[in-house]
A and B are shown apart, each in its own frame.
Chain A
Amino acid sequence: MTPLMRFFERLLPGWLVWPALTATYAAMLLLLALFDPVGSGQIIYIDLRQ
């Protein structure tokens, strides 16, 4: 059982856990796919000296 699943189990009735988990994963993947990066590589420049 993953931490998010445990979190939803505490909050929601049993039948809603899997739909909530799926929706959360889908929302996270969508956010990653939709937004253009600004350049976080710059902020960890110390390990990516270019």
Chain B
Amino acid sequence: MNLQVSAIFLLAMAAATAIWLVPKARALDVMACSTLLVLAAFSWPTAVWLLAAILLCWAALKAGERGTSRNLVAASLCVILLTAFVAAQFTSGILWLGASFFTLRLLHVAGEWWTGRLTAPSLPALLRYQLFLPVLVIGPIHRLPHFERQATRRRWDNATYFSGLERCLIGFVMAHFLGDVVIGRIAVRADYWTQGLPEFLGTWILSAIGWARLFFIFAGLSAVALGASLMAGLRLEENFNKPWRAESLLDFWNRWHMSLTSWSRDYAYKPVMALTRSPLVGLIAAMLVIGLWHDMSLYYVCWSFWQALGIVVSRQAGKLVPVASLPRPFAAIVVPLGILAWLSAARPVISLLLGVDHDPANALF
């Protein structure tokens, strides 16, 4: 596993333990200071960016509360945050730590404030929310109201602390051993085995293995993040919910990287749907957010359309042959395999369409 990722998670676990030694009222302030120090040590440009973005968000929302047009404030804030994020995507040579996660969190705060569901948070509250070390690298994209509720309720409990510690250990094994070592080695061998196959089929098989590997690494590291949060006394939003049990592609996206899916549902699907009155346009917008979140490239634009098409197709197929009508063992095997086949077909199909074999390092799906 990447040493920096492991080091940050171990530091998060240490910080989650250490904050129990300081008074409860100051615990998350200490965590925020630790996060800033860790960020500055690993990537000072990210630390400067994150701090500047928090200050900007706080100042803009305060100005909005004092009478500046809410629409103008929210729109300007979104444009600035997104521009900074896109600029970072195209800046090489700098390590950007958790850039997409904190950008989406700030957009969530701006969006909720704009709709009136949230009052402008104080600067310390915003700092505590954004500078929470366990979720720095891998998310989840937790929500401010939930975080504040959890922060208010946090209290020492042996079972909670040790459940968090245990979850970290299980998460490390999932990511490091199952994802990295076991499926990583299968992927290396599959690369060799598929050399005799037609290119399309070979890429498809490798992409399917890539999805399995990504699940173990991403769900494992998410478990470490949530486990470290639990060690600090906060139960944050889950990121995965048994995606292999999905009954359709839409169901799959509601179980895979759930915090990103719910973000794109709330801030892309619903607004676009409300504007256009077209669920299809809303779906494409939501999938574009998810796709471009992975990488700002033509490949991921095509990938988003492929996934939106898959959701439409699987919905129609579900109407013709409801999953409930299929024999249970058959459905339990065939439906997840069908979903995996569609997800992993994206890479060979788009590579064929674009006429280039997309760099596997940049196209895991």
Of residues 1 to 24 in B, which have CB atoms within 8 Å of A's CB atoms? 1-5
Interface centre among B166, B179, B185 (most CB of A within 10 A): B166
Q: Known contacts A35-B181, A47-B100, A48-B137: does B214 contact A29 (CB below 8 Å)?
A: no
Of residues 79 to 98 in B, which have CB atoms within 8 Å of A's CB atoms? 88-89, 92, 94-98
Of residues 166 to 192 in B, which have CB atoms within 8 Å of A's CB atoms? 166-167, 169-170, 172-173, 175-177, 179-181, 184-185, 188
Does B217 sit within 8 A of A, measured CB to CB? Answer: yes
Contact call B137/A40, Cβ cutoff below 8 A: no
Does B101 sit within 8 A of A, measured CB to CB? Answer: yes
Residues on B lying within 8 angstroms of A by beta carbon are 1-5, 88-89, 92, 94-101, 137-138, 159, 162-163, 166-167, 169-170, 172-173, 175-177, 179-181, 184-185, 188, 213-214, 217-218, 221, 293-295, 361-362, 364
CA distance A42 to B210 in the complex (A): 12
CA distance A49 to B176 in the complex (A): 20
Q: With a CB–CB cut-off of 8 A, which chain B residues contact A11? A: none
Q: Known contacts A2-B162, A41-B1: does B94 contact A28 (CB below 8 Å)?
A: no
State the interface size on chain A (CB cutoff 8 A).
25
Q: With a CB–CB cut-off of 8 A, which chain A residues contact B181? A: 35-38
Contact call A48/B2, Cβ cutoff below 8 A: yes
B360 shortest CB reach to chain A, Å: 10
Name the contact of A32 in the complex, choosing from B99, B166, B173, B213 (C-beta under 8 A). Answer: B173
Residues on A lying within 8 angstroms of B by beta carbon are 1-4, 25, 28-29, 31-32, 35-50
Name the contact of B176 in the complex, choosing from A37, A42, A46, A47 (C-beta under 8 A). Answer: A37
List 19 extra interface pairs beyond A28-B172, A49-B88, CB under 8 A.
A1-B159, A3-B167, A29-B169, A31-B177, A35-B176, A35-B181, A38-B188, A40-B175, A40-B221, A41-B4, A41-B5, A44-B138, A45-B362, A47-B99, A47-B100, A47-B101, A47-B138, A48-B95, A48-B97
B232 shortest CB reach to chain A, Å: 16
